[in-house]
Amino acid sequence: MTLKKHMLNRRELIQNIAAVSTVRAVGGVGAQQSRSISVAERVLALSDMAIELTRQGWSRPERNCRSKGKSLTIGHRQFKSGLGTVADSILQIDLKGAAKAFSAWVGPDAVGGPSACVRFYVVVDGRVAVRTPAIKGGSAPVQIFVNLKGAKKMLLVVDAAGHHTWNNYADWGDAAITLQAHATALPEAQRYEPDMSVPEIAHGNSEQPEFHGPQAIGTTPGKPFIFRIPVTGSGKINLSVTGLPAGLELNQQGVLRGSVEHGGSYKVEIVARNHLGRTSRRLEIRAGERMLAQTPPMGWSSWNAFGVNVDQEKVWRAADLLVRSGLAGKGYSFVNIDAGWTGQRNSAGRIMPDKTKFPDIKALIDHVHALGLKFGLYASPGPEDCGGFIGSYGHEIQDIQTYAQWGVDYFKYDWCSYGQTITATPKTAEYIEPYAIMGQAIGTVDRDIVFSLCQYGMADPWKWAAGPQVRGNLWRISDDLIDFWASVCVNGFHCDRNIAAYAGPGHWNDPDMLVVGTMDFTNAGLGFPGKPQPSRLTPLEQQTHITLWSLLAAPLIIGCDLSKLDPFTLDLLSNTEVIAVDQDVLGKQAQCIKQIGCIQIWARPLADGTAAVGIFNLGPVAEKASVRWSELTVILPRDMVLSGKQPTRDLWMRRNLGHRDGLDMELPSHGSMFVKVGRPRPAVGR
Ligand code: GLA
């Protein structure tokens, strides 16, 4: 007799278990040491527990089978009982002092195919009792056995072992808890509540004037130029500039406007003064052909906050809030509308906004420009975009001309339905074609437009998107980023050394918009929550997310509702030193230089001769991490030798840590440390 029925009441369950007399063979980690049990034992199958409480980023935990009635299958072996989940996932079990042992066969489910890769952990009372190696899709199941005598709490954890994909389906096959002979209570599955405490990070701004954001910006001579100087400080701040190229001027609102008359590199000196002091900064204006996005674009997009319910009022307010919250003062300058703005074409084929949502898009764009900010729009090369709205297919040149007339400065072009127009198994050239058509068209309009490719990394866009054919400035490398840990891992930690070299001034890998703050993924069509809610990443994971994006030189496009900004989100988005790493003018994307167990160390060289280093714990429990600065030589240019003790600065705390030759620390699960190492070279001559 086995326990098949799921929702038996507690009393029935205890009675049933008492009657169970099952003989099972269980072993240690791996198939090495099988142990046979000759006596009758009382066994509680995992599938008879409340496995729906499993916390996993997407999809649902499955009992005894995969959706559409497929069995749980690891390698060639099928399991009638067990839990089917997707990495990263975690289930907590209160053992009630009743357990003797836990056993299971684990591995990636066949449904994930050969590219899946997962690792299983059993954490008992805060200690990792079992950690399997990374198990690849197609591998035979691995048998695990854990002694639970005296244990109180068990966590069943699956992660991606650093191989993050969306298809990391993972099974706990024939998983069961063997009970103590005289146990009266029963182990109980519980929802794992992650640590939601807010990490300590620097808060607020200095009262003295301070500059932020990019130190190099690009423009095409003769085309409109607009740049709101990112500066903070208390009271009235007076700005003055010297060395401006002919054609530009600084207005009363601290915005540089005009159009640069001649190509060249202009070193502009900006001075900011308030009643407390003065500071200056060198801003380089690079005027020439194809000079946009000298540093990764920073701004806000409507998608994560409003989905297709975006409208003129919401975007208008977002632009105002970008200024009022101080985020524009930190360098966030684009206000982008994603899917949901489009109406129909008029009789001349000209694209029109949906008038019910955007009664006067030109007025909105003028308002954004009046604030010194820039405006972005979205469309698809296909007949329809991902929201089902009209795409640019067959109207590419006409559309981009319309956008340029409206004053669009940033254009996101999303593959969506384009696949319907080409062969079922497209060659790389077919992936490139729609972007080349639009890229060339953008080059013909009399306005600078940052070109953002969105096709989820198909056919390795990093290899061709920035080339002369397409002229892209950034390209998505993966699927949409959602607010859960596995997604941050898929998009962020996947952005590794194979593609790092493709990023640089003018062309960036894009792991997608930021998922901190209050968002609403209802309209993302992914079956996620039906109401605005704070990021489901824990505060620590949010900090790790921003740390990683900064190291990756990722575009920093805020995705949250700015009217619901909480102080922690604001601090995360506006830490000037973290932004400075992202915006560093050398434009070198970080690479993972070292991995020890669950710890990954990423680093990037910076223009001032220092290095930014991120230390991450991707595992399920706190881990000791150690890094020596001498290890950074793998990624540093030859003239940047960081030997011996180096000045080390905690970027999130904005605090010096003294002179060190490395760092040793204990990092919480999914936590990170972000430091800058080395003595900055003097600015002169850079
Ligand atoms: C795709 C993109 C998202 C967003 C939506 C809009 O999913 O990847 O960033 O633009 O479409 O429908």
pLDDT at residue 524 in the model? 52
Asked whether the beta carbons of 29 and 35 are under 8 A apart, the reply is no
Q: What is the CA radius of gyration of the chain?
A: 27
Predicted local distance difference test score (pLDDT) of residue 40? 54
As a whole number of angstroms, the distance between CA 106 and CA 159 comes to 12
Which pLDDT does position 279 carry in this prediction?
A: 98
Whether the CB of 338 sits within 6 Å of ligand 1: yes
Domain identity same for 103 and 238 = no
Write down which residue in 262, 287, 312 finishes a domain: 287
Q: What is the DSSP letter of 489?
A: I
First to last CA, the chain: 77
Ligand 1 centroid from CA 366, angstroms: 25
What are the CA-CA distances from residue 545 to residues 251, 292, 386, 448, 511 (Å)?
36, 26, 26, 30, 11
Q: Which residue puts its alpha carbon closest to atom 8 of ligand 1?
A: 480
Q: What is the distance between the alpha carbons of residues 265 and 286, in angstroms, rounded to a whole number?
A: 5
Q: Please name which of 502, 495, 472, 490 lies closest in space to residue 587, comparing C-alpha atoms.
A: 502
Kindly state whether residues 451 and 576 are assigned to the same domain.
yes
Q: Please indicate whether residue 339, judged by its CB atom, sits closer than 6 Å to ligand 1.
A: yes
Measured from the Cα of 454, ligand 1's closest atom is: 8
The total number of structural domains in the chain stands at 4
386 CB under 6 A from ligand 1? yes
Q: Which residue has the tokens 């009643």?
A: 275
Peptide bond into 88 cis (omega under 30): yes
pLDDT at 530: 63
* 68-107 residues labelled b (16+ CB within 10 A) or e (exposed): eeebbbbbebebebbbbbbbbbbbbbbbbebbbbbbbbbb
pLDDT in the model for residue 449: 98
197 within some domain: no
Find out whether the beta carbon of 387 lies less than 6 Å from any atom of ligand 1.
yes
Give pLDDT, residue 39. 43
Kindly state whether residue 653 falls inside one of the protein's structural domains: yes
670, two tokens: 């999914």
Q: How many angstroms separate the CA atoms of 642 and 556, rounded?
A: 29
What HEC string does 194-220 produce?
A: CCCCCCCCCCCCCCCCEECCCCEEEEC
Q: Which helix (H) or strand (E) covers residue 248, if one does?
A: strand 248-250
Map 115-155 to HEC letters.
CCEEEEEEEECCEEEEECCCEECCCCCEEEEEECCCCCEEE
Give 89's strand partners: 56, 158
CATH number at residue 240: 2.60.40.10
Low-confidence ranges of the chain (pLDDT < 50): 1-39, 525-529, 685-686
633 within domain boundaries: yes
Residue 1's pLDDT is 29
Residue to mutate (ligand 1; options 166, 386, 483; most atoms within 8 A of CB): 386
Q: Quick one: 302 and 445 in the same domain?
A: yes
Q: How far apart are the CA of 414 and the centre of ligand 1, in A?
A: 7
Q: What is the predicted pLDDT for the residue at 622? A: 93
Range of the domain at 247: 210-287
Same domain, 275 and 326: no
Q: How far is ligand 1, taken at its centre, from the CA of residue 184, in Å?
A: 52
Query: Angle 196-304-369 (CA atoms, 0-180°, nearest 5)?
Result: 120
What is the distance in A from the centroid of ligand 1 to the CA of 493?
A: 21
Q: Cα separation of 210 and 206, whole Å?
A: 7
The ligand 1 atom at the shortest distance from the C-alpha of residue 385 is: 12
* Sign for the pseudo-dihedral over CA of 551, 556, 559, 564: positive
Structure tokens that stand for 449 in this block: 């437009």
376 lines ligand 1 (CB under 6 A): no
d(Cα 412, Cα 340) in Å, to the nearest integer? 13
Q: Quick one: 383 and 316 in the same domain? A: yes
The closest of 92, 105, 71 to 176, measured between CA atoms, is 105
The answer to whether residues 276 and 303 belong to one domain is no
C-alpha 338 – ligand 1 centre gap (Å): 7
Report the SS3 class of residue 522. helix
179 and 234 together in one domain: no
Q: Which of 663, 661, 681, 607 is nearest to 637 (CA)?
A: 607
Q: Which of 481, 434, 425, 428 is nearest to 453 (CA)?
A: 434
- pLDDT score of 57: 74
Distance CA 279, CA 297 (A): 25
Of 527, 555, 582, the domain-final residue: 582
Is 424 exposed, middle or buried (CB count within 10 Å of its CB: 0-12, 13-18, 19+)?
A: exposed
Residues with active-site annotation:
414, 480
Residue 212, exposed/middle/buried by CB under 10 A (0-12, 13-18, 19+)? Answer: buried
Pairing of strands 599-605, 611-617: antiparallel
**Does ligand 1 lie within 6 Å of residue 307's CB atom?**
no
Kindly state whether residue 661 falls inside one of the protein's structural domains: yes
Helix (H, G, I), strand (E, B) or coil at 583: coil
139, 158, 190: which is the final residue of a domain?
190
Residue 198: inside a domain: no
Give the pair of three-digit tokens for residue 79: 């399991």
Give the Cα separation of 439 and 435 in Å (integer): 6
Q: What's the pLDDT score for residue 513?
A: 98
CATH of the domain at 401: 3.20.20.70
Residues 239 and 157 in one domain: no
